[in-house]
A and B are shown apart, each in its own frame.
Chain A
Amino acid sequence: MTVHNLYIFDRNGSCLFYSEWNRKKQAGISKDEEFKLMYGMLFSIRSFVSKMSPQDMKDGFLSFQTSKYRLHYYETASGLKFVMNTDLSVSNARDTLQHIYSNLYVDLVVKNPLVPSCQPLDSELFGTRLDSFIRSLPYYSPRAA
């Protein structure tokens, strides 16, 4: 039961924040390329899902799972994208991501007049609060299964 990593993208595709807790395998490409690939994959998945969907959707793409991990996705109305990779035991992390957005991101980053928008997040307070929040999650355990 664990959380592997978390990405936050803005509406233009630049990665504002990335943090990892239990990642066992790196992607084999540089971090910048990985962020671009991740954003590109999510953009394509959203476009794919809107075309394939048999009916009109409200929330759109929620998550996907492979044999080893699950990717959870949450997008705000302002185009901010929260992406979290966990192991397979976590079925729904939408509330967690929504909490990260409304209680951590909005309070500590948006309301902070000194944080520039569209640039990678430098806020130490956000980093530590997020880290303690993730570690306090019921499905997080430091030694992954």
Chain B
Amino acid sequence: MVIFSVYVVNKAGGLIYQYDNYVPRTEVEKTFSYPLDLVLKHHDEKVIVSFGQRDGIKVGHAVLSINGADVLGKNTADGKDILEYLKDPGNYPVSIRFGRARLSSNEKLMLASMFHSLFAIGSQLSPEVGSSGIEMLETDVFKLHCFQTLTGIKFIVLADPRQSGIDALLKKIYEIYSDFALKNPFYSLEMPIRCELFDQNLKSSLEVAEKAGNFGAGS
């Protein structure tokens, strides 16, 4: 029962704080011989699997390292283009590590703004009067909880689907935000939060929520 990450979005939709508490890294390293039976392609400055699945390597996984050396975007550690490198039979056998690509901070910014808009559309398409935006989004692997304050700040928590007590945790994070970010005289509103006390208190409240599975009055 785990909390994956916390995002704080300001009222314009910009990400002002992000913390990854636990990111499960599923990586698979295998040795391949020519020809490679997975089809790779360039996508967003990364090389990802576009077709082919074997031994835990799925479509969408990115190339993380070749022969032990971490790749740099589309190139190997030596600066050669990865797809060209893998087309040359002279470079085989080669050991490649595949895994889910880590989100860059740019991507996190874009995803936070995307959610900000989806939150508003959820309220617009409501079949009932007076609906709020998306408060909880469920998938088979995680549950996303969102709490919007009266001032338009959204606190978003990604957690395990079975984790309880997230509603109380969201209110607690709001409390921590008002105590350690808003009351900090050097913090400007709607700007990225860079307050050490906010980080520390957030981490400890996440630990409490995970351990208890039930924070305060319950979910």
Contacts and interface: CB of A to CB of B under 8 A. Distances in A.
Interface of A: 4-5, 20, 22-25, 27-28, 34, 37-38, 41, 44-45, 48-69, 71, 85, 87
B140 A58 contact: yes
A66 B134 contact: yes
27 contacts: A4-B127, A4-B128, A25-B126, A25-B128, A27-B125, A37-B125, A41-B125, A44-B117, A45-B118, A48-B111, A52-B158, A54-B5, A54-B142, A55-B100, A56-B26, A57-B140, A58-B141, A59-B139, A61-B139, A62-B139, A64-B134, A65-B134, A65-B136, A66-B133, A67-B130, A67-B135, A68-B132
Interface string B86-120: 00000000000000100100010001001101100
A37 B124 CA distance: 10
Nearest to B119: A66
Given A54-B4, A54-B23, A66 B114 contact: no
Contact of B122 (A4, A51, A53, A64): A64
B126 A68 contact: yes
Interface residues of B, number: 40
State the majority secondary structure of interface residues on B. loop
Contact of A67 (B26, B103, B124, B132): B132
Contacts of B114: 44, 48
Given A24-B127, A37-B125, A54-B141, 13 more contacts: A24-B128, A41-B122, A48-B115, A49-B139, A51-B111, A54-B158, A55-B142, A56-B58, A61-B139, A62-B140, A63-B138, A65-B136, A66-B135
Contact of A69 (B107, B118, B127, B140): B127
Contacts of B22: 54
B53 to A, nearest CB: 11
B50 interface: no
A48 B151 CA distance: 25
B139 A27 contact: no
Contacts of A55: 24, 26, 100, 141-142
B189 interface: no
Given A54-B4, A57-B141, A61-B137, A41 B127 contact: no
A44 B127 contact: no
A57 B114 CA distance: 20
A5 B158 contact: no
B209 interface: no
Contact of B121 (A20, A24, A37, A63): A37
Contact of A41 (B100, B118, B158): B118
B13 interface: no
B150 interface: no
Contacts of A54: 4-5, 22-24, 141-142, 158
